[in-house]
Chains A and B, each alone.
Chain A
């Protein structure tokens, strides 16, 4: 849960990167992601990761991204071992393992710097149906609330003698039932209340709702976008045609 929250939950920030148009942030993360799929050596992958970390540093979220990377490393090691078992090839297994880390880092970069409002904006740009976008944004908005609810439910049940930290795997899973059921029930109740509130504020009255906030791409955003594509193109070119001649 910590990993999820540290790596993918948005937190307010004021860096130059945060202030970019969300579509540019998405573009950058998408390009990073694509690059990880196109590289062909460990060194190249490492370069991509370093580049991503540099961006994280500019966005002043380096610590969080770094921590996410470390937490992902354990799972990554698992991927490495499994691959070794099946392919017996050290290099490709390492690439798969590190690639996983790179993918997590590039997507994490987007989610921790783009607020749910910005996510909504991006989704609208892709012409997703209004209800889907709304459901998504509302769900994200309630993540911190549900996390708090879970803690409170756990507290309440611990106070009735429930031991959550003892027992074998089977017992521990069974002990989660008194936590999961109230959580689900609360979510259902919450959905009902939300539906009432939505109706009461005329949701669905008009086919195309207006928007209070407008996301205008600034010149800086367009320039950054063009630069990102240029760097990407350059990077891929050098990975494919320049580097293999000199490095493994």
Chain B
């Protein structure tokens, strides 16, 4: 009876159109890279510029950036500085979905973004958008996490394993059968992130991931990001206004203004400098305090400290 095409078990879909990466080797090796060995470059932008067809102004211009494997980079800048354009230039939506004029180059893992198809890029770069609601397509959590894998034609057994692993990593295994409208914002965020993690990208970009979350949930997300870096060796680029959550965690802060890069360095270098506040970056109160105390010579540290750590240092007790 044609109505019952009874399941035929694992059906292998011929993957003739693209290279299906088995990137499991990456996390089987873990990250302990020996000191002194050069870290791979995950993103390289050289004199990159982009102008949307509908606009006369260049949204991004003369942009240079390198991101090394395993780094956590925070990208900041006032509204309208070109951050969104840059993000989309790295994950491939520009130029594959949005057309315009390009200058310079952007490459991911050595591959030029413009010349690599989205299906391959999607496995290298994951992009987590701001509103988790509009990234969850399916009616059940686990099916949504599997969405990207289904699109790539991954065989069922492997897909099951990857979905389970991603959900476990994000701490949402119990939510597997739930529908999206039954979830809180924080949970939706994790589901969307799990869907990205399941694709095993080397790099994950997050566009203002904490904007809809309350501070405690936001902290939990930051912990989750650190866990991703630690366990999967994932490189992370986070666009954020709320720097206080990330300053103690980030390796670098890159500041953009009007389409170009204006600051790039360790969190301490960038935020202790006088230029940061001029670019509309909200320097956390504790960092301002640390800066003043450092000027007075009462505190010396090579990195940015949290409130507790700073108090510990000043109080003369080892924290």
Contacts and interface: CB of A to CB of B under 8 A. Distances in A.
A/B: CB atoms within 8 Å of each other = yes
A205 B148 CA distance: 10
B7 A214 contact: yes
Contacts of A134: 137
Interface string B1-28: 0011111000101010110000000000
B101 to A, nearest CB: 20
B180 interface: yes
Interface string B81-101: 000000010011100110000
B3 A23 contact: yes
Given A190-B134, A209-B150, A196 B93 contact: yes
A203 interface: yes
Contact of B139 (A23, A27, A117): A117
B173 interface: no
Contact of B97 (A27, A195, A209): A195
A22 to B, nearest CB: 11
Given A125-B5, A138-B137, A141-B180, A208 B146 contact: no
Contacts of A205: 17-18, 117-119, 122, 151-153
Nearest to B153: A206
A200 interface: yes
Best-surrounded residue of B15, B17, B181 (most CB of chain A within 10 A): B181
B159 interface: yes
Contact of A197 (B11, B134, B159, B179): B134
Main secondary structure of the interface of A (DSSP, over half): helix
B126 interface: yes
A145 B133 CA distance: 9
Given A144-B181, A212-B159, A206 B17 contact: yes
Interface in B174-205: 179-181, 195-196, 199
Best-surrounded residue of A141, A200, A202, A208 (most CB of chain B within 10 A): A200
A213 interface: yes
B39 interface: no
Given A193-B134, A200-B93, A202-B152, A212 B160 contact: yes
Nearest to B117: A205
Best-surrounded residue of B4, B129, B136, B142 (most CB of chain A within 10 A): B4
A117 B123 contact: no
B255 to A, nearest CB: 25
A73 interface: no
Interface residues of A, number: 43
Contacts of B6: 216-217
Given A199-B96, A206-B15, A194 B150 contact: no
Nearest to A196: B93
Interface in B186-241: 195-196, 199
A214 B156 contact: yes
B140 interface: yes
B179 to A, nearest CB: 8
A204 interface: yes
A202 B122 contact: yes
B153 A210 contact: yes
Given A23-B3, A116-B139, A199 B118 contact: yes
20 contacts: A117-B138, A125-B3, A138-B137, A141-B136, A193-B131, A193-B134, A194-B135, A197-B134, A200-B91, A200-B93, A201-B122, A205-B122, A205-B153, A209-B152, A210-B13, A210-B150, A212-B149, A212-B150, A212-B159, A214-B156
Interface of B: 3-7, 11, 13, 15, 17-18, 88, 91-93, 96-97, 117-119, 122-123, 126-127, 129, 131, 133-140, 142-143, 146-156, 159-160, 163, 179-181, 195-196, 199
Given A137-B138, A210-B154, 5 more contacts: A116-B138, A141-B179, A145-B181, A194-B134, A211-B150
